[in-house]
Amino acid sequence: MTRRFFTQYWRNDTWDFQRSNGHEGTHNEHTAGNGFRDRGVKRADQIYMVTIRGGKLYLLCRGTVRMITTRRKAARKMGTRPEMLWDAPDHILFEADEAAIQLFDRAVPVDTVRGIEAIRASGPRPLKFIDRTRLDQQSLRGLVELTSASAALLDHVIADPGPASGSSLTAVRNERTFELEVVEPLIDRWKFVHERQFKHFFQRGSRSAHLFIDHLVSDADGRLTLFENKACIRSQAEREKAVAQARSYAHDLG
């Protein structure tokens, strides 16, 4: 059966909530929504999580569908409680794919966006712009099927993100590359033990939540330190934010 390609639109507030919960640079294992089954989404299809802000298209990551299931079954597979997941009828679990690493500031170049075509009832159609550079906010609402050529354009953005938006600095290809080439060899040289993407549960007021710590490092006496990795830090403010994030995790874990 032929693989199909879809974008799933995340509202700006959902996007910001996920970023604030520390998901930058982590593996996206799950998404949820309405209509996945109705649209015939199946195993091995690919979902691109996107949002539009100020007329600019942002691409979070790509997930390859491992299964579509219910909220309760998805929670069981993920080792969490159903109420921790979005309240939606369709829940998708993704393969452990490098392309599922989440980057919230990955803007898609406007020339690339102009080459994207959505499959409509009347056939493939380009996305709607409100002027020369700004994409219409409604153009990718909900679940939109793309042509395979359009999916290839987004794959190129994921594989080669290029300079960060508004910056002359070039990021490493992605955070996982940095981990493989720098962080993990360093931990190995120290002869410490590490757990990658350690799932940490915590309380946010009356609500339980969880996040993933990039590398939790231990020695013979127990937990020692942790790594919060970033593919690119563009400013002193971003560096301080990353340090504060890592420090808060360390304090929470004792």
pTM, 2 dp: 0.66
Helix (H) / strand (E) containing 180: none
Whether residue 78 contacts residue 30, with contact meaning beta carbons closer than 8 Å, is answered with yes
CB 156 within 8 A of CB 173: no
The string of pLDDT tens digits covering residues 61-102 is 999 999 999 999 999 998 889 998 999 999 999 998 878 889
Q: Which amino acid is at 165?
A: S
Instruction: Say how far apart CA 3 and CA 125 lie, in whole Å.
Output: 19
Length of the chain: 254
Nearest to 225 by CA among 233, 237, 213: 213
- For residue range 35-48, what is the model confidence (pLDDT) as tens digits? 999 999 999 999 99
Mean pLDDT of 171-196: 81
